[in-house]
């Protein structure tokens, strides 16, 4: 588990230092303060042995990396990763774990001699290079090159998990979720996901997967004559289903959640946070989540009180690219909530 994060020249931040990370972390702040940039930095840094993750981040932001021939250097999609499009300065994302060990991700547009040699091996012109990515993680560095619509990556050891950002409003792939839930059923390990859905609708007693003509549909047993598609039970049920599955799939890794309150009525947020704290500990997951909601912040704090309070609450501030993560201690959160003070 990581205790601190340092971000330089990435998205909203020229610099940002976050200290005191816990197992479950919640970030708040004004619009454009850089909250989602924190999630994206963790996404790239944790999965930095996967060069294609840059491309997936472009897609999530609505940018197409396969159209780079239409852009100048500063307006190519990958340039948006760099603070103020300053592509000459490297991006650096450094995480420090509980033992003091660091893992460092660099994203650069500057080619080294070794990079150029690699390009020659793959018969690729250096002028076509989109991004050079370098992970420095003991015992030896690993390099990746992202090149004009295709990825060149050197042999690597994959992480055991493949985190993604649960963007608010983004529609998950129903077939992917159904296939994963089906694998849990085969292992008889689907109980935590089923129990999670009862937070939204206590009538749910079972879930079934149905695959037909290339489509996948999840059905819920809600004590009716027939099973109902999970989608008709509302956005909250679908969001919670995805969240519970990602917590299970993220075992030993990280789970990233944008606008975590999205789709949930405020009255169920305490139960949602109880679930997050429980599954994070059960599956050894470190959670990074973002919220705009006061009710969500209160619910997260109270759920952490009922657990072991391995929880951090941070307000992200940013001025002219210089970021600041204001951490609230347990006592500060408790006092602020009791006095009805604003902490967002």
165-203 residue pLDDT tens: 887 667 778 888 888 888 888 888 888 898 899 998 999
31-82 residue pLDDT tens: 889 999 999 999 888 865 555 677 677 777 666 544 444 445 555 667 788 8
User: What's the structural domain count of the chain?
Assistant: 1
d(CA 122, CA 111): 15
Whether the bond into 139 is cis, omega within 30 of 0: yes
pLDDT tops 70 at residue 97? yes
Cβ neighbours of 69 (radius 10 Å): 9
d(CA 268, CA 260): 12
**Residue 184 three-state SS:** helix
Q: Going edge to edge, which strands form the sheet with 206-212?
A: 206-212, 215-221, 228-229
Q: Is residue 163 part of a domain?
A: no
Q: Is residue 213 part of a domain?
A: yes
Q: Is residue 341 part of a domain?
A: no
Looking at every residue in the chain, the average pLDDT score rounds to 81
Please report the DSSP string for 293-304 in residue order: -HHHHHHHHHHH
Q: Is residue 52 part of a domain?
A: no
The predicted pLDDT at position 77 comes to 61
Q: Is residue 277 part of a domain?
A: no
Looking at the chain, list the stretches that DSSP marks H as alpha helix, in order from N- to C-terminal side: 35-46, 52-60, 113-121, 174-186, 191-197, 235-249, 269-282, 294-306, 330-338
129 secondary structure, DSSP code? E
Domain containing residue 203? 170-249
pTM, 2 dp: 0.87
| Closest of 166, 177, 170, 167 to residue 229, by C-alpha | 177
The answer to whether the CB of 280 falls within 8 A of the CB of 192 is: no
Q: Is residue 178 part of a domain?
A: yes
Across-strand partners of 144? 133, 153
Q: Is residue 13 part of a domain?
A: no
Six token digits for residue 43 = 């996404």
| Mean pLDDT along residues 286-299 | 94
Q: Is residue 234 part of a domain?
A: yes
């Amino acid at each position: 588990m990581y205790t601190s994060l340092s971000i330089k020249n990435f998205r909203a931040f020229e610099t940002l230092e976050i200290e005191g990370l816990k197992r479950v972390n919640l970030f708040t702040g004004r619009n454009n303060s850089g909250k989602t940039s924190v999630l994206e930095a963790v996404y790239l840094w944790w999965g930095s042995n996967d060069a294609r993750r840059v491309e997936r981040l472009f897609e999530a932001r609505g940018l197409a990396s396969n159209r780079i021939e239409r852009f100048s250097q500063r307006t190519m999609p990958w340039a948006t990763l760099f603070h103020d499009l300053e592509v000459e300065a490297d991006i650096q994302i450094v995480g420090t774990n509980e033992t003091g060990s660091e893992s460092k991700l660099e994203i650069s547009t500057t080619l080294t001699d070794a990079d150029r040699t690699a390009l020659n091996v793959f018969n690729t012109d250096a002028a076509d290079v989109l991004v050079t990515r370098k992970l420095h993680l003991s015992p030896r560095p690993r390099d990746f090159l992202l090149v004009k619509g295709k990825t060149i990556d050197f042999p690597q050891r994959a992480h055991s998990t493949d985190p993604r950002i649960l963007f608010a409003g983004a529609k998950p792939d129903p077939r992917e979720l159904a296939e994963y839930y089906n694998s849990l059923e085969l292992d008889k390990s689907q109980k935590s996901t089923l129990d999670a859905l009862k937070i939204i609708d206590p009538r749910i007693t079972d879930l079934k997967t149905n695959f037909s003509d290339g489509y996948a549909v999840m059905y819920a047993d809600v004590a009716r004559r027939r099973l109902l598609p999970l989608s008709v039970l509302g956005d909250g049920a679908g969001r919670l289903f995805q969240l519970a599955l990602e917590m299970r799939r993220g075992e030993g890794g990280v789970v990233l959640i944008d606008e975590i309150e999205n789709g949930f009525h405020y009255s169920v947020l305490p139960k949602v946070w109880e679930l997050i704290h429980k599954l994070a500990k059960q599956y050894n997951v470190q959670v990074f989540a973002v919220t705009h909601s006061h009710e969500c912040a209160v619910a997260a704090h109270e759920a952490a009180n009922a657990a072991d309070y391995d929880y951090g609450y941070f307000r992200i501030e940013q001025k002219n690219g210089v970021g600041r993560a204001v951490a609230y201690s347990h006592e500060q959160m408790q006092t602020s909530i009791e006095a009805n003070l604003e902490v967002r």
